[in-house]
Structure 1
């Protein structure tokens, strides 16, 4: 299973009102659902938190695993 790394920036963004009701487990599930290899930072759209809150995220694959750079709540 691929290791998901959530940056400090993304964790900080989860505290903002716009990302309210999105938690780390939602991010991990969403990041694992993206197939293939992501060599450059790419925005992926249309994820749904367990609370029903839609969000996008910017992800890149690095040697250590899949790096979640930021979260964008809708």
Structure 2
């Protein structure tokens, strides 16, 4: 997760704080986190109003926790 950048980490923190985030667009940071397996992204809404729900995976929560521990050390 460390190599994914600041935006990805901030999004991961948001996903952990609020387990069901919904957005109208899909950012590059969300795509990177989803490809790495740190978050799950589901398409919600309909053809006229697209919406994406983002939920953290257990691996994502643990990776964020390890990064926080590394920063404290």
Q: Structure 1 length as normaliser, TM-score?
A: 0.29
Between structure 1 and structure 2, the one with the greater Rg is: 2
Q: Structure 2 length as normaliser, TM-score?
A: 0.29
Question: Which structure ranks higher in relative contact order (CA pairs < 8 Å, sequence separation ≥ 6)?
Answer: 1
